[in-house]
A and B are shown apart, each in its own frame.
Chain A
């Protein structure tokens, strides 16, 4: 190649690249090369649906863009913050009387503490400011925590959230009154059991008759495999009277015959079939990390024709070219390989939908509650589970050697049971109580353990890694301090 061509080739290549990226930004196309940095936690699953967060119009002012970003945060996270009885709700800081704090730490905006695409400044819990941020408001004036609490006199502000005492948002198990109320509890309850789990395990089955192997209604070819048939016959579906057609031929209706089932038979039904019956589970599944790609708030792929109309180029670009510029179809499920936490390499190609944990023909919630998790997750906490006291309890319950609800599986803690309108269901938003781990105390830990033990155990990182095999080496002082302060207040009031 002539040396004279080199600058031209470089300029032509970069102009073509720039045009491609300009089209990707304004019309449609793969935008992964435009990502300026990794997103926090599980947001990487939706980071190419840019409009989910970047909802402001193009060339909007910085203030409008920031406002739109924060609105996007609230759209997805407001409910959980509300459920957590957020200690620092936005509404509190919108009050003009709090203006003095806006300059220090503008708590009206999520993006003050949580900035995306800046992996180099991400700290625990996706916080992107220094972890002693409490100092901004609680080190002087009325809000000075050391003024009323001598116990806090020598404490550094970076220990507020790291010592098991406080969280910025969720303090449901950490506030003073709660600590005092649960002070002195034994490490283990007299009859430790998860009440909702126990109630669910002994609940009565629906009145419909359980189905047996011979009741299966399906095309002959499908019935030819005895192994599948056996698995179905032993499954919860058969026990609940759910025949093959319910999933493989939903259009055939309830009183389907072999002919009608055969006519509308679907070989591999999608998750929509599961969602038809298991609505609470499906609703919560998309709120968690496993299913967040199908979260209702995630932006849909852009319509290139509409985008071209917006920038006034629809008349100049042929429709076929516009359609070629369309956003790549977003995957509806995450593969195990995409996870950014330690996972098993042999599970890399697995996708995350209902069938990943609940093998379709052997719907076994016992498998889904523990073994299914370990078939993908490969971190020390997961590996240690199978040698832990919790797993021993789980095995005892499965073997019928212990009462229902006494076993502790992965799902017991991470997908706890919830009760709504008298119906008990498993919360499939597995990160609802994941972090900070004190969120787990009220819905899970306190079923069996005292608050003091729970706080100590959850604050002991090494113990968590060993999946609670052993005793806590960390002692969280908050209960003692709260109790002494309450006693002192009582004495003052009495005297």
Chain B
């Protein structure tokens, strides 16, 4: 039998092994909740209003579940469900995800394919070898969302799917808004064995609440930062060049824009920020930044770097696009910043867009991120030409 975590991952992946652009906070909360639910169904943990405790430390035989169980057993202080969902989603989500994917690959449901993007960046995909499993899970959900009498595991799975807000993507041809009352009813139904009913219900509530709360906080911050960056890019595009003073004498802008030393400082700072932004988004996001800044700090940090790029770009150019090769470099750089800001705003604004009735945003978000990547591609070559032209002439 598949674990909840494996089922969720199967639902999120497509036949090419590309995952739906699900809100990552929600996904990580769902992943943490999925493991806790499996442990509850295996009679290993119990909850009450104040704490989540291990009632049976015996291993389940599943490495992923046993790892979490060991962690719960090892903890001596009083810790409630909410805290565990938070801890697991922050500290263990990446590992849980990898373990679940490897488990699916080991069972022959998925295939692990190691590839590289532009030779430089590692990329692992898990395309489905057999889409029968996915179809079965979807059919279970669809049946439960109809009027069928649900199985307790299906109820739990639906709560995880709901937490991830992927119902619109799973059933693009259905009016998912109509599922709302049914999902609420399912949550209230006493369908689970008395021993675990309270635990599962507690985990369900906590996962959904935590996922939505954390997602909302993150998305709000993401939206604000992206909007700030977008305004900066709009100013770069629309503002006329800042005129210079008609009075002779040293001026800050004159120094910034026409003094070779200052130009080099701002230019290399811009280069450093761009490289850092690229590094954060490609290499570091899964490793270093996840540890030092939380699992989603990398994205916020990436946008902060983008905003810094806009400010330093102003210091370097004063809204002047230049001519010929310089204009091309500036155009691609601004395009990269603008597509990045729009992608950030789109991801951050997803809940608002959904409230406005715009539900299918995944494909558009992916398109904006793709445009962001394409706009970045010419920059190294253009920068080399720019630097060479400065030092050769």
CB of B385 within 8 Å of the partner chain:
yes
CB of B322 within 8 Å of the partner chain:
yes
Within the complex, what minimum Cβ distance (angstroms) separates B287 from chain A? 23
Task: Annotate B325-342 by CB proximity to A: 1 below 8 A, 0 otherwise.
Answer: 110000000000000000
CB of A83 within 8 Å of the partner chain:
no
A54 to B247, CA, bound (A): 30
**Which of A126-134, A210-218, A336-344, A397-405 sits within the interface?**
A126-134
In the complex the two chains form, is B377's CB within 8 Å of A54's CB? Answer: no
**Which of A14-22, A269-277, A434-442 sits within the interface?**
A14-22
In this complex, the interface size class of chain A, counting residues with CB under 8 Å from chain B, is: 35 or more
In the complex the two chains form, is B324's CB within 8 Å of A32's CB? Answer: yes
In the complex the two chains form, is B323's CB within 8 Å of A36's CB? Answer: yes
Would A121 and B244 be within 8 Å (CB), given that A15-B381, A17-B381, A34-B325 are in contact? yes
Would A132 and B246 be within 8 Å (CB), given that A21-B325, A50-B393, A59-B392 are in contact? yes
> Looking at the complex, which one of B117, B323, B389 makes contact with A37 (CB distance below 8 Å)?
B323
In the complex the two chains form, is A7's CB within 8 Å of B384's CB? Answer: no
Question: Which residues 227-276 of B sit at the A interface, judged by CB distance below 8 A?
Answer: 241, 244-249, 258, 260
CB of A221 within 8 Å of the partner chain:
no
User: Which residues of chain B come closer than 8 Å to A50, judged between CB atoms?
Assistant: 393
Question: Which residues 345-393 of B sit at the A interface, judged by CB distance below 8 A?
Answer: 370, 373-374, 377-378, 380-382, 384-385, 388-389, 391-393
CB of B51 within 8 Å of the partner chain:
no
User: Which residues of chain A come closer than 8 Å to B377, judged between CB atoms?
Assistant: 7, 10-11, 14
CB of A85 within 8 Å of the partner chain:
no
In the complex the two chains form, is A18's CB within 8 Å of B374's CB? Answer: no
Would A36 and B389 be within 8 Å (CB), given that A11-B377, A115-B258 are in contact? yes
CB of A135 within 8 Å of the partner chain:
yes
User: Which residues of chain A come closer than 8 Å to B325, judged between CB atoms?
Assistant: 21, 33-34, 36
CB of B320 within 8 Å of the partner chain:
yes
Within the complex, what minimum Cβ distance (angstroms) separates B320 from chain A? 7
Within the complex, what minimum Cβ distance (angstroms) separates B196 from chain A? 45
Task: Annotate A362-401 by CB proximity to B: 1 below 8 A, 0 otherwise.
Answer: 0000000000000000000000000000000000000000
In the complex the two chains form, is B324's CB within 8 Å of A7's CB? Answer: no
User: Which residues of chain A come closer than 8 Å to B244, judged between CB atoms?
Assistant: 121, 130
User: Which residues of chain A come closer than 8 Å to B373, judged between CB atoms?
Assistant: 7
A301 to B326, CA, bound (A): 24
User: Which residues of chain A come closer than 8 Å to B392, judged between CB atoms?
Assistant: 25-26, 58-59
> Looking at the complex, which one of B241, B374, B381, B389 makes contact with A7 (CB distance below 8 Å)?
B374
Which chain B residue has the least Cβ–Cβ distance from A118? B258
CB of A136 within 8 Å of the partner chain:
yes
User: Which residues of chain B come closer than 8 Å to A11, judged between CB atoms?
Assistant: 118, 377-378, 381
User: Which residues of chain B come closer than 8 Å to A37, judged between CB atoms?
Assistant: 322-323
Within the complex, what minimum Cβ distance (angstroms) separates B24 from chain A? 23
User: Which residues of chain B come closer than 8 Å to A35, judged between CB atoms?
Assistant: 323-324
CB of A3 within 8 Å of the partner chain:
yes
User: Which residues of chain A come closer than 8 Å to B241, judged between CB atoms?
Assistant: 120
Query: What are 7 A-B contacts defined by CB distance under 8 Å?
Result: A10-B374, A17-B381, A25-B392, A36-B324, A59-B392, A135-B248, A158-B246
Chain A residues at the B interface, C-beta cutoff of 8 Å: 3, 6-8, 10-11, 13-15, 17-18, 21-22, 25-26, 32-38, 50, 54, 58-59, 62, 105, 115, 118, 120-121, 129-133, 135-136, 157-158
A3-B370, A7-B373, A33-B324 given; 18 more Cβ-contact pairs under 8 Å: A7-B117, A7-B118, A7-B374, A10-B378, A13-B378, A15-B381, A21-B385, A22-B385, A22-B388, A34-B389, A35-B323, A58-B391, A115-B258, A130-B244, A130-B245, A132-B246, A135-B248, A136-B248
